[in-house]
Amino acid sequence: MNDWINASVLIAHDIGLHARPSVKFTKLAKGFSSEIEIASALGGPWFDAKSIVRVMAIKAGTGSTLHLRARGSDAGAAIATLSGFVASDFDKDRAYAASD
Amino acid sequence: MLPAIEIRGKPASEGIFTGPVVNLGVTRLASRPARDAAVERAELESAIAAAIAAVKALAARNAGTAADILEFQIAMLEDGTLRQRALAAIKQGASAADAWWRVLENEIAGYTNSNDQNFSARGADLRDIRDRVVRKLTGQDFAQMKSGSIFVSDDLAPTLFLEADWSQGGAIALRSGSSSSHVAILARSRGVPMVIGLGEAWPNACDHAIVDGTEGLVLAAPPPALVDIYTKRSAAETAQRDHDRKFLLAPARRRDGTPVEVQLNIARAEELDRIDPASCDGIGLVRSEFLFRDAASLPGEEEQYLAYRGILQWANGKPVTIRTFDVGGDKPLRGLTAEGNGNPLTGLRGVRLTLARSGLFRIQLRALARAAIHGNLKVMLPMVILPRDLEQSAALFDRCVAELRNEGVNCARPPLGIMVEVPAAAIAPELFAKAAFFSIGTNDLTQFVMAASRDEACAAELEEAAHPAIARLIAGVAAFGRENGIPVSLCGDMASAPQHLPLLLEAGVNSLSVTPAALARVKSALSRI
C-alpha cells in the first residue's frame, strides 16, 4: 500500500507541458484519491501533481521526460490516465489554434 | 510643422490605429505595517476570493482562447500552494499585500528566467494575478479603459485586455512585452494593433499617437497631415486584408484557373499553431537552424526527431521540406561556427560547413530519416556550389539510413534536393541533375548577384527593382528543371511580394513558398494575374 507506482513519459508536444495542458493535467490528477507526484528527474525533487503552481514550475518543455509516481488505492489508474494524457500530446492539444 | 516622434519597437499584432494615448497605471505595492495576523489572513483570503470571482465572471463572457487563458489564472488562484506560502509570511509578521506580492515575485522570477519563451511569457499571467489581488488589498483602481484609445504600459495583463471595451477600436503600445504573451495572442485574434519593445523612449507629453502594428512602430504627436496619410493607409490596408482573407482557404489559382502551388516558410514550430493546414499546399521551407535557436547547445537526435515529427504530423500528409542547418556567414550558431565571423561571403557555410563537421550533420540526418516515416518529408541542402556538395551529402544520408536499419530503427530515406541560391548553381543548374528538386532562394541569390548585403537599407532599392539578371537566372533554372523532370519551386522573399509575382510566373515558376503572413495576400494576387 505504501509502495509508489512509477512511470516515465516523454513529452513530445511541441510546446511542452504549458498553461492549458497543465490545467487539464491537474484536473485529471485531482480526480484520484491517491497521492500523485511528478518530477523532471528520477531522483526528484518530487512535486504534488494536483497543484498547477507546482506542475507549471517544473517547466517541462518539449523533448523532456516527465516522471510520475503515485501511491494509494487508485494509484495504478492514476498513473495510466496521466501518462496516457501526456503521451497523447495532451489529448492533441493545439496551442491557441482556433480563433486566430 | 514639427515632425512626429518615431519610436521603433517590434510588431506583435498587425494593423494601424490613430487615437488618444492613455497611460495605464502600474499596480504598486503600498506597504504598511501589518496588523493582527488573523486580520491580515482574513483580508488575503477575501481578496483572493474576490479575484477568483472577478476572473470567473470574465471567463463566463469569453470563449475559446480567452477562456483558456482565464481558466489557467483561475486554477493558479485556486491552488493552495501560493496561498499557503503567503499565509506563512503573514504568520511571520507580513501584511497581506506584502506577503502576496513577495510570494508572487518569487514565482514570477522562476518564469521570466526560463529560456523557453512559452514559459517565460507566462510571467505576465502571474503578474496579472499578483496585481489583481494587491489592487484589491490596497484599494487601487484603474481608470476605465475607454474604447478607442491607445493603451501605453510596460506590459498589459490579459485580464485587463479582456475587461477593456474594444468596440470603437484601440491599440496597445508596450515598453516591454512579448509577441508570444497571452495578450499578444488575444490582440491578434481580436485584430487590435499592438507594438512591443518600445523601451523607455516614450515622450512625456504625448496625448495623441499612431500605432503601426504591421511595421512595429509608434508615431507620437503626429501632425494632422501624417494622421491623414495613416488614416487612408489604414482604411486601404483593412479593405485589402478583408478582401485577401477570402482567398486564404481556397486552393491558389491564377485568373485563368491555372493552379499554382503555394507552400509556407517557417522557422519555428510554434508558427504553425495559428495556421490551418488546409490553407497551404505544405511547408516549402523549414529553416531548421532556427528551430533550436534558444537551446544552449545543438540539440541531440531525439529532440530534433521530435521537432521534425511534430511538423510532419501537423502537415498530415502534405509535403514538408526541411532545410539542413544553414549556418556560418551571417548566421552563426553556437558550437558550430567560428566566433565573430559575420562575413556572408565566407567559403565555409551552409552544406559545406555541415559536411566539414560531419558528426553534427549525421545527428541531423539520422533525426530526419527517423522522422521521414511520419509524413511526406523532403530534405534540402543550403548554399550548394559544387556537385560534390550534393554527392557527399547523399552518400552520408545513405550511410545514416543503413546504420539506423542495422540498429533496427524504423526510418526512410527522403528525397534530397538543393537550394539554388549561389550564382554558381543558378548559372549552371546542369551540374545538379541528380537533385530530387530545386528550390530557388532569391534572398541570397539577389545579394550575391547584386553585390548588396541584405542588411543594408540601400539594398532594398536594388531588390525592389527585380533586376533582369535575377529574372534571367530564375527562368534558366525553371527551364532546366522543366526539361529534365526536376520540380522547381521558389522560397525567397520575392515570392511573398505581389509585385514580383507576374515576373516569377512569366519565368515559369509554378510553385511558391511564402511567409505565413503573406499567404492570403499572395493567393489573392495570383487570382488577378
pLDDT along chain A (100 residues), means of 10: 83 80 92 94 90 89 88 92 86 43
Confidence check on the interface: ipTM exceeds 0.90, yes or no:
no
The runs of H, that is alpha helices, within B451-516 are 457-464, 468-484, 501-506
Q: How much of chain A, in percent, has pLDDT values that exceed 70? A: 89
Per-residue model confidence (pLDDT) at position B31: 76
What is the average pLDDT across B133-153?
82
Test A95 with B188 for CB contact under 8 angstroms. Answer: no
Mutate to test the interface with A, among B13, B306, B309, B314 (most CBs of A within 10 A): B306
Per-residue model confidence (pLDDT) at position B295: 58
Test A53 with B122 for CB contact under 8 angstroms. Answer: no
Per-residue model confidence (pLDDT) at position B188: 82
Per-residue model confidence (pLDDT) at position B484: 96
A55 contact B CB<8A? no
Q: Judge residue B26's burial from the number of C-beta atoms within 10 Å of its C-beta, 0-12 exposed, 13-18 middle, 19 or more buried.
A: exposed
Band of the pLDDT at B450, cuts 50, 70, 90?
Answer: confident
Test B116 with A59 for CB contact under 8 angstroms. Answer: yes
What is the average pLDDT across B210-229?
90
Euclidean distance between CA atoms A89 and A13, whole angstroms: 5
Band of the pLDDT at B291, cuts 50, 70, 90?
Answer: confident
Structural domain boundaries in chain B: 5-22+143-223, 37-138, 243-526
Rounded mean pLDDT of chain B? 87
Test A23 with B82 for CB contact under 8 angstroms. Answer: no
The listed CATH number (3.50.50.60, 3.40.50.970, 3.30.1340.10, 3.50.50.100) that belongs to domain A5-89: 3.30.1340.10
* ∠ Cα B427 B429 B435 (to 5°): 155
What is the average pLDDT across B346-359?
85
Q: Judge residue B407's burial from the number of C-beta atoms within 10 Å of its C-beta, 0-12 exposed, 13-18 middle, 19 or more buried.
A: exposed
Euclidean distance between CA atoms B283 and B500, whole angstroms: 21
pLDDT digits (tens, 9 = 90+) for B360-401: 899 999 999 999 999 999 999 999 999 999 999 999 999 999
Nearest CA to CA, how far is B300 from chain A (Å)?
10
pTM: 0.63
Checking if the pLDDT of B51 tops 90, the result is: yes
Q: Got the DSSP string for chain A? A: --PPEEEEEE--SSS-S-HHHHHHHHHHHHT--SEEEEESSTT---EETT-HHHHHHT---TT-EEEEEEESTTHHHHHHHHHHHHHTHHHH--TT-S--
What is the average pLDDT across B116-123?
79
In the block, which residue shows the cell 510643422? B1
Q: How much of chain B, in percent, has pLDDT values that exceed 70? A: 91
What is the average pLDDT across B97-118?
88
Is the domain spanning B243-526 CATH 3.20.20.60? The answer is yes
Per-residue model confidence (pLDDT) at position B218: 92
Checking if the pLDDT of B441 tops 90, the result is: yes
Test A16 with B71 for CB contact under 8 angstroms. Answer: no
Residue of B nearest to A52 (CA): B76
Whether residue B21 contacts residue B208, with contact meaning beta carbons closer than 8 Å, is answered with: yes
Residue of B nearest to A12 (CA): B306
Cell numbers given for B461:
532599392
Nearest CA to CA, how far is A5 from chain B (Å)?
24
Structural domain boundaries in chain A: 5-89
Which is the catalytic residue, given B182, B374, B411, B500? B182
Q: Got the DSSP string for B229-290? A: HHHHHHHHHHHHHHHHHTTTTSPPB-TTS-B-EEEEEESSGGGGGG--GGGSS-EEEEEHHH
Band of the pLDDT at B309, cuts 50, 70, 90?
Answer: very high
CATH of domain B5-22+143-223: 3.50.30.10
Q: Is B182 a catalytic residue?
A: yes
Band of the pLDDT at B332, cuts 50, 70, 90?
Answer: low
Q: Which residues of B287-318 are buried (b: 16+ CB within 10 A; e: fewer)?
A: bbbebbeebeebbeeebbbbbbbbbbbbbeeb
Per-residue model confidence (pLDDT) at position B4: 77
Whether residue A8 contacts residue A68, with contact meaning beta carbons closer than 8 Å, is answered with: yes
Per-residue model confidence (pLDDT) at position B457: 45
Checking if the pLDDT of B29 tops 60, the result is: yes
**CATH architecture, domain B37-138:** Orthogonal Bundle (1.10)
Per-residue model confidence (pLDDT) at position B282: 97
Q: CA gyration radius for chain A?
A: 13
More confidently predicted of B3 and B514: B514
Per-residue model confidence (pLDDT) at position A95: 43
Q: Which H or E run contains B136?
A: helix B123-138
Q: Judge residue B399's burial from the number of C-beta atoms within 10 Å of its C-beta, 0-12 exposed, 13-18 middle, 19 or more buried.
A: middle
A21 contact B CB<8A? no
Test A61 with B189 for CB contact under 8 angstroms. Answer: no
Band of the pLDDT at B346, cuts 50, 70, 90?
Answer: low
Q: Which of A53, A63, A100 sits opposite B81 (nearest CB)?
A: A53
Q: How much of chain B, in percent, has pLDDT values that exceed 90? A: 52
Q: Which of B75, B82, B188 sits opposite A26 (nearest CB)?
A: B75
Per-residue model confidence (pLDDT) at position B337: 63
Q: Is B208 a catalytic residue?
A: no
What is the average pLDDT across B205-214?
86
What is the average pLDDT across B472-482?
96
Which range among B61-70, B168-177, B271-280 shows the weakest confidence by mean pLDDT? B61-70
Checking if the pLDDT of B202 tops 90, the result is: no
Checking if the pLDDT of B330 tops 90, the result is: no
Q: Which of A13, A16, A20 sits opposite B72 (nearest CB)?
A: A20
